[in-house]
Structure 1
Amino acid sequence: MYNIGIDLGGTNIKVGVVNDDFKIVGKSNIKTDLPRPAEEIADSIAKGVELACKEAGIDVKDINSIGIGTPGVADRNTGVVLYSCNLGFNNTDLGGLLKHRLGTDIYVENDANVAAYGEVLGGAAKGYKDVVVITLGTGVGGGIIIGGKIYTGFNFCGAELGHVVIEYNGRQCNCGRKGCFEAYSSATALITATKKAMEEDKDSAMWNIAGSIDKVDGKTAFDAMRAGDKSGKAVVDEYLNYLGCGLTNVVNTFQPEMLLIGGGICKEGDYLTKPLEEYIKRESYCINPERSTVLGICKLGNDAGIVGAANLYRLKD
């Protein structure tokens, strides 16, 4: 049996045909080309489905269901995107638009949630039932799996873990609050902190590593730290302390079997995970060390959203 998973982003529409072993057997990628009406986006999604099916060597009629991971808030079973500022959706019946075009069951869910679900089904958290996934990118995303099912809250707005405050009246966050986890632990926050440290230390190795302040990325401070640069180490230490604080809050709130982190920063490997493991071990509330949360790194990367979305039919109420 085949199901379609769609990662609907602000830049690209990524479509995958997924088999029962949670493997992607056909793909397509189409530009989202925003801003434009939902009807036109639905046309592009339908085209992407046709292309992915062609690559997989199957007919669209062979598809059991289609799942979509979208930015914003969505009602999984009705297919309505309640709100997505990135896409310009407001109570948009995306499921209905695609049902009309493709004639199969459509399920729509938040993109971070489906990525977390994908990791549970076929990724780093396979075999676990209670999992939290934190993605470190432009912002800090969250996905919560409880008892093998996606947790969304009664109004589908749950799992906005990036907007839990870790420093009262702290840095301004784009959401309007101050001191949010996202304002300290996103890749954006790391880059901002790196640039600030470079401005304060003109002799820092970070200048040579980056080439210019406009080319700073999430690796710059880590590379400088490994080169013995004090300013680079200070940036990394502060970043890891904030990240550890936020992750410990997640552990203390949910006590998941596994806590996964994803995003480009995870390429730092042990330089990232080892200090975080020590921080969480030291700060988390756990009365039985043998039954403590396992920290891991996401395995599926950009495919997690496709795998998770393709299997949303399993969660049908």
Structure 2
Amino acid sequence: MLIGVDLGGTNIKVGIVNQEGQILYQNSRTTNPSRPYPLIIQDIIEQIEGCVSQLNGTVEDIKSIGIGIPGIAELQTGNVIYCTNLSWYDVPMGEMIRTHFNKPVYIENDATVAALAESVSGSTKGLANSVFLTLGTGVGGGIIINHKAYSGSHGAGSEIGHMIVGENFYECNCGRNGCLETFTSATAMIRYAQKRIREGVVDTEILNIAEGNIENITAKVIFDSAQKGDQLATEVVERMIKYLSIGIANIHNMLDPDRITIGGGVSKAGDALLEPLREAVAKLAFCKGVIYGDITLAQLGNDAGIIGAAFLGESL
């Protein structure tokens, strides 16, 4: 049995995955992140035991346990260096779970885990080298090289969302200015639209859909308004695509992957995002004689966390 754990700030999802990347059984609990970390880890242990029991297995049937977290961890030791959503710093989660089950435990960043899942059974299946970008509240990144997850020498690599691509009107949560996620995340799109409205752009479909309240603006509202030809919405989308294309062009130049796949809430825009993005990236190509990897949408959605985590041990 391969066990995959998707540990988020809202829910803990645990599943058993087969060698084809299919989830055989899964369960979920609310994280309640304000609790002491031993209680959350105990929940994970109980959920793993519950999954195994549901399939009439025993602990001996477990081959390895993988865990995806919204933070940075040491893959081999399982020590969580930090996990901001849970306010964890230097938490020995891997050691605690390994001691309980006496099985290998691997912990990795959730975007890297999602990249691995797409490589196993999703949009980049069968490709040796790929990059996954998740565009949501922030921007996460995962890198697959030679079919294996890559996160650098210190577990802090693949932070594509913090690639500097320009000067922005607000600071990133990391404290720097110009991070990719401050231009291309759903949060970035919303903040820019709100800024332009505060500056006096009030004749916009965005406000109509948001019922006049800028706090109701979402990335979907912006894309829907752009599809109707709204000038401000079009400006916001074009700005996002401009900087996302810069980030992707940089990825092409550094890694030259077989494919770049995009997930997260912003990816739900579908062709309204992909078509102009592909055109913008093509214009930034370093070598016109090279056919760079395509840009596609992720396929696994919410299942990616469990599937990718389960295969962490298999990818070493």
What TM-score, normalized to structure 2? 0.94
Deviation at 1:169, TM superposition (A): 6.7
1:19-38 alignment runs, 5 A limit: 19-38=18-37
What is the Cα deviation at residue 126 of structure 1? 0.1
Distance 1:93 1:28 in 2: 23
Question: Which residue of structure 2 lines up, in the alignment, with residue 141 of structure 1?
Answer: 140
Match of 2:86 in 1: 87
- Which residue in the other structure is 1:297 paired with? 297
SS in 1 for 2:132: strand
How far off is 1:111 after superposition? 1.2
What is aligned with 1:53?
52
Could you say what secondary structure the match of 2:63 adopts? strand
Structure 2 gap segments, 5+ residues each: none
Quote the residue 1:309 is aligned against: 309
1:73 aligned partner: 72
Change (3 A) 1:169 1:203: closer
Match of 2:14 in 1: 15
> Comparing 199-208 with 151-160, which one deviates more in the overlay?
199-208
Matches within 5 A, 1:34-45: 34-45=33-44
Residues 67 and 108 of structure 1 are in contact (CA less than 8 Å); yes or no, is this contact kept in structure 2? yes
Q: How far did residue 315 of structure 1 move?
A: 3.1
CA distance in 1, matches of 2:217, 2:55: 40
Q: Which residue in 2 is equivalent to 1:210?
A: 210
Matched, 1:249 2:250: yes
Note closer, same or farther for the CA distance 1:54–1:216 as it changes in structure 2 (3 Å cut).
farther
Q: Which residue of 2 aligns with 1:260?
A: 261
Q: Which residue of 1 aligns with 2:234?
A: 233
Count of residues in Structure 1 that have an aligned counterpart in Structure 2? 314
Shift of 1:60: 3.9
Partner Cα distance (2:289, 2:258) in 1: 13
> How far apart are residue 299 of structure 1 and its match?
0.6
Deviations 1:134-184 (A, max 9, x none): 111111111111111111111111111111111147641111111111111
| Number of the residue aligned with 2:160 | 161
**Is the 2:70–2:85 contact (alpha carbons within 8 Å) kept by the matching residues of 1?**
yes
Contact 1:19 1:25 in 2 (8 A): yes
Unaligned stretches of 5+ residues in structure 1: none
Secondary structure in structure 1 of the residue aligned to 2:194: helix
Give a deviation string over 1:31-76, Cα, whole Å, max 9, x none: 1111222211110001221333344454444221110011221111
Q: Which residue of 1 aligns with 2:174?
A: 175
Structure 2 Cα separation of the partners of residues 235 and 84 of structure 1: 31
Secondary structure, counterpart of 1:271 in structure 2 = helix
CA displacement, residues 2-31 of structure 1 (integer Å, 9 cap, x when unaligned)? 211001111111111101111001111111
Which whole-Å deviations, capped at 9, do the CAs of 1:255-299 have from their partners, x for residues lacking one?
Answer: 11111111111111111000110111110213434x311111111
Distance 2:54 2:189 in 1: 39
Amino acid at match of 1:298: A
Identify the residue that residue 98 of structure 2 maps to in structure 1. Answer: 99
Q: What SS class does the counterpart of residue 49 from structure 1 fall into?
A: helix
Contact 1:49 1:60 in 2 (8 A): no
Contact 1:171 1:180 in 2 (8 A): no
Letter in 2 for 1:83: Y
Same amino acid, percent of matched pairs: 40
Q: Is the 8 A contact 2:74 2:107 kept in 1?
A: yes
CA contact (8 A) 1:66 1:107 kept: yes
The structural deviation recorded for 1:205 is 1.3
Q: Amino acid of the residue matched to residue 294 of structure 1?
A: D
Provide the C-alpha distance between the structure 1 equivalents of 2:39 and 2:97, rounded to a whole number of angstroms: 11
Q: Is the 8 A contact 1:124 1:298 kept in 2?
A: yes
Instruction: Give the TM-score taking structure 1 as reference length.
Output: 0.94
State the alpha-carbon separation in 1 of the partners of residues 132 and 306 from structure 2.
Answer: 16
Task: Give me the whole-angstrom Cα distance separating, in 1, the residues matched to 2:280 and 2:175.
Answer: 29
1:201 deviates by: 2.1
Give distance in 1, aligned partners of 2:219 and 2:54.
Answer: 35
Shift of 1:120: 0.5
The aligned residue for residue 187 of structure 2 is 188
Distance in 2, matches of 1:256 and 1:32, equals: 35
Q: CA RMSD in A?
A: 1.6
Question: Retained in 1: the 8 A contact 2:252–2:292?
Answer: no
How far apart are residue 309 of structure 1 and its match? 0.7
